[in-house]
Amino acid sequence: MTTVTIEDGFRMTLPEELRSTLCVGDELLASRDNSGRIILSVKSEMQQALDEVFGIWADRTDIPSDGVEYVNRIRSGKRFSVIGDSQ
């Protein structure tokens, strides 16, 4: 783990070991988790991951076309009782 100091104007220099994973001009998404850790994610990589799974359920016949109906059915608990009966 490397220490980074926040400089005047809230600037900081990324450690050398992180620079090799980034390109000048990369847009980073910044967030802070419940433990106080700062998380930087490359925006284009996040979008690529989302694009790869987009439509993954599109042709499923066991899932209704109305996503709200499907989520409500899962939350109703009926699915858990069916799983319990099959074990």
Q: How confident is the model at residue 85 (pLDDT cuts 50, 70, 90)?
A: low
User: In CATH, what number is assigned to the domain containing residue 15?
Assistant: 2.10.260.10
For residues 4 and 81, what is the distance between their CA atoms, to the nearest angstrom? Answer: 51
For residues 73 and 48, what is the distance between their CA atoms, to the nearest angstrom? Answer: 30
Q: Are residues 3 and 23 in the same domain?
A: yes
| Tokens, residue 32 | 């802070």
Residues sharing a CB contact under 8 Å with residue 33, sequence separation 6 or more, in sequence order: 39
The per-residue pLDDT of the chain, averaged, comes to 82
Q: Are residues 30 and 43 in the same domain?
A: yes
Mean pLDDT of 47-70: 78
Assessment of whether the complete model's pTM goes beyond 0.75: no
Domain membership of residue 73 as a residue range: 57-87
Residues sharing a CB contact under 8 Å with residue 12, sequence separation 6 or more, in sequence order: 4, 5, 6
